[in-house]
Structure 1
Amino acid sequence: MTQQPTARFGIMTAPSQVEYRDILRVWHEADQIPEIEHAWLFDHLMPIGGDPNGPAYEGWTLLSALAAHTRRLRLGVMVTSNRFRPPALLAKIATTVDIVSGGRLDFGIGVGSRPGHPLARREYEAHGLPFEDSGDAVQSLAEACALIRRLWTEPAPFDFAGAHHRLTGAFGNPKPIQRPHPPILIGGRSSATLRVVAEHADIWNMPGGEIEDAIERSARLDRYCTEIGRDPSAITRSIVLPVFYGRPDATRDMVAQATEAGFRHIVLGLPSPYPDGVARFVADEIIAASLDS
C-alpha cells in the first residue's frame, strides 16, 4: 500500500484591520515552530471585511518586510491579483522577495477579486485600476504566468506579443534564488482558471468553500491535466481552512476531511485579533492532533 505524503501546514494572516506589529508578532512566533512550514498574506488594497474604511496593507511590500524578519518559513501572497500589477513588474517584485528571503518564496497568483463579491470592484475604482470581465481576466492570467516564468528563467531579452500583454526587450535580472524558479501557486475555482492551473501551476489552492465542492473541482483539475498530457499528481492540492480559537475540534475535523480528499497543503486562516501564543496554539491544538490522527 502506497503511503500518502504528510500534509504541510501553514497560516494566513490577512493584512487588514490589524497593525503591522500584530502580524510581525505572529510570524516571528511561527518562524520558531517547525510544524508551521509556510505563512501567507492576502492581496487587497482596501478591506473586504469589517470596517470598510479600516487599514489594509499592500501585500507584497509587507511580505518583503516579513521575509527580512524571518529565517525559516516559506512565504507568499495567497493570492496575488493579476489585475493589480503588470506581469513584468510583478516578476521583478517576486524576484526581490525571493532574494530577500533567501529563496523561501512560494509565488501565489490568481485572476483577482470575484465579481460577485460586494466589495470586489471598490478597490479597483479607488485606485484607478481596470476591472476586466472574467473571460479576459483568465486569459490575462494565463499570459502572465507564461511571461513571469520566462522572465525568471530566460538568459536573454525577448519580445512578447499577447492579446493582453505586450513587451519589448523583456528581461529579468537578477533571477530568483530558487531554480528553475519559485513554485507557482494558482488559486481559483472556475473551470477556466483550473485549465490555467493544469498548464502552469505547481500548487493549486482551493479558496475555501465546502469540501465536497473542493473534491469535485480537484477531480476536474485531474481531467484537465490528463487532456494536456500532464500528470495530475504533479500539482499539489492546497486549501484554506478557518481556525476557530474556541473550537479547535471543528478545525481539526475540516483538516481531516481535506487531507482524506488529497489536500496536502493546508493553510489555516487566523482571524484577528490574534491571541497571545496563537502560533503555538495552532501547532499544539490543530496541527499536532491532525498529524497524530
Structure 2
Amino acid sequence: MPHTSLPRFGIMTAPMQVDYDDIQRVWREADTIPEIEHAWLFDHLMPIAGDPNGPIYEGWTLLSALAAQTSRLRLGLLVTSNRFRPPAMLAKIATTVDIVSAGRLDFGIGVGSRPSHPLARREYEAHGLPFHDSAHAVGSLAEACTVIRRLWTEAEPFDFHDTHLDLTGAFGNPKPVQRPHPPIIIGGRSSATLRVVAEHADMWNIPGGDIDDAVRRSALLDRYCAEIGRDPASITRSMHLPVSYDQPSATQDAIGEAIDAGFGHIVLGLAAPYPADVAAWVADKLIRTATQTIQTI
C-alpha cells in the first residue's frame, strides 16, 4: 500500500501502578520531542492489571493537570468511558481541558469498560455506577456523541429527549477553543460501535495484536460509511500498540504492519515503570526507524 503521508505517532501512559511524578516526567519530556505528536491516558477507576488495590488516577483531572504543564502535544483519553459520567457533564469537562490546553484536546470516547475483563466490572459496583447491557451502552454512546457536539457548537439552549438521555435547557458556555469542536475519536471493534463511528467520529481507534481482525474491522467501517453516504477516508484510522523495551524490533514490526494496513495514527503504549529518558528512546528506536523505513519505500 503506498504511503501518501507519514503516520502520526504518540504515547500512552496508563495512570495505574505508577506515581504522578513519573507520568508528569514522561509527558514533559515527550512535549520537547517533535516526533511524538500526541499523548494519552486511559479511563478506569480501579486497576485492571497488577495489584488490584494499587494506585490509579482519575483520567480527566490528571489530563487537565498535564495539559497545563505541556505546550505542544495533542492529548486525550484513549478512551473515555461513556458509562462513567453523564454526557452533558463530560462535554463541560472536555471543554475545560480544551481551554486549559489552548486547543490541543482530541476527545476520545467509547462504550465503556470491557465487560469480559475480570477486573473491569468491579469498578462499577465499587463506585455505585450501573452497568447496562451492550445494546444500551451503544445506544447511549450514539446519543452522547450527538448531545456533546451540540453543547460544543449550538448558540442557544436546547432540549433533548431520546431513549437514554433526557435534557431540558441544555447549554454549553464557554465553547471549546477548537472550531467547530475538538476532534472526536471513538474506540472499539464491535459492529454496533463501528456504526456509531461511521456517523460521529473523526478518528477510530482499535487495539493492536490481531492485524487481520483490524483490517476486517476497518473494511466494515468503510462499508458503514458508504451506507450513510460518508467518505471513509474522512475517518483517520488509529491503533494502540504496546511497546516492548526489551525487544524493540517486535514493536517495530507491529508498527510496520499497522501502517501497511492503513493505520496512520499510532499510539505507543508505555508500560510502567518508565525507564529514564523513555520518550527520547521511543523517538529514536521506534518512530525514527519507522519513518525512515517508510521514506525508503
TM-score bin, normalised by smaller chain: over 0.9
Letter matched to residue 208 of structure 1: G
| Structure 2 equivalent of residue 6 of structure 1 | 6
Quote the offset at 1:209 in angstroms: 3.2
| Structure 2 equivalent of residue 71 of structure 1 | 71
Partners of 2:110 and 2:78 lie apart in 1 by: 8
Identity of paired residues, percent? 75
Partners of 1:207 and 1:59 lie apart in 2 by: 19
Quote the offset at 1:232 in angstroms: 0.2
Partners of 1:3 and 1:12 lie apart in 2 by: 24
Partners of 1:263 and 1:201 lie apart in 2 by: 15
| Structure 1 equivalent of residue 199 of structure 2 | 199
Unaligned runs of at least 5 residues, structure 2:
none
Residues 213-267 of structure 1: per-residue CA shift (max 9 Å, x gap)? 1001000000000000000000000000010001111101000000000000000
Quote the offset at 1:51 in angstroms: 0.1
After the TM superposition, which residues 136-147 of structure 1 pair with which residues of structure 2 at under 5 Å, given as runs?
136-147=136-147
Quote the offset at 1:3 in angstroms: 5.0
After the TM superposition, which residues 77-96 of structure 1 pair with which residues of structure 2 at under 5 Å, given as runs?
77-96=77-96
Partners of 1:2 and 1:149 lie apart in 2 by: 34
- Secondary structure at the aligned position of 1:5 is classed as coil
Letter matched to residue 101 of structure 1: S
| Structure 1 equivalent of residue 167 of structure 2 | 167
Partners of 2:238 and 2:143 lie apart in 1 by: 23
Quote the offset at 1:127 in angstroms: 0.2
Partners of 1:182 and 1:68 lie apart in 2 by: 17
| Structure 2 equivalent of residue 34 of structure 1 | 34
Letter matched to residue 64 of structure 1: S
After the TM superposition, which residues 209-288 of structure 1 pair with which residues of structure 2 at under 5 Å, given as runs?
209-288=209-288
Partners of 1:42 and 1:211 lie apart in 2 by: 22
- Secondary structure at the aligned position of 2:169 is classed as strand
Partners of 2:189 and 2:54 lie apart in 1 by: 28
Unaligned runs of at least 5 residues, structure 1:
none
Partners of 1:213 and 1:15 lie apart in 2 by: 28
- Secondary structure at the aligned position of 2:223 is classed as helix
Letter matched to residue 224 of structure 1: Y
After the TM superposition, which residues 17-32 of structure 1 pair with which residues of structure 2 at under 5 Å, given as runs?
17-32=17-32
Partners of 1:29 and 1:72 lie apart in 2 by: 11
| Structure 2 equivalent of residue 179 of structure 1 | 179
Partners of 1:53 and 1:23 lie apart in 2 by: 19
Partners of 1:97 and 1:287 lie apart in 2 by: 27
Q: Give the root-mean-square deviation of aligned CA atoms.
A: 0.9
With normalisation by structure 1, the TM-score equals 0.99
Letter matched to residue 205 of structure 2: N
Letter matched to residue 85 of structure 2: R
| Structure 2 equivalent of residue 62 of structure 1 | 62
Partners of 1:9 and 1:120 lie apart in 2 by: 28
Residues 120-167 of structure 1: per-residue CA shift (max 9 Å, x gap)? 210000000000100100000000000000000000000000100110
- Secondary structure at the aligned position of 1:76 is classed as strand
With normalisation by structure 2, the TM-score equals 0.98
Letter matched to residue 177 of structure 2: I
Letter matched to residue 17 of structure 2: Q
Quote the offset at 1:207 in angstroms: 2.3
Partners of 2:97 and 2:186 lie apart in 1 by: 18
- Secondary structure at the aligned position of 1:46 is classed as coil
Partners of 1:5 and 1:144 lie apart in 2 by: 32
Letter matched to residue 97 of structure 1: V
Q: How many residues align?
A: 293
Quote the offset at 1:2 in angstroms: 7.0
Partners of 1:26 and 1:100 lie apart in 2 by: 19
| Structure 2 equivalent of residue 98 of structure 1 | 98
| Structure 2 equivalent of residue 157 of structure 1 | 157
- Secondary structure at the aligned position of 1:254 is classed as helix
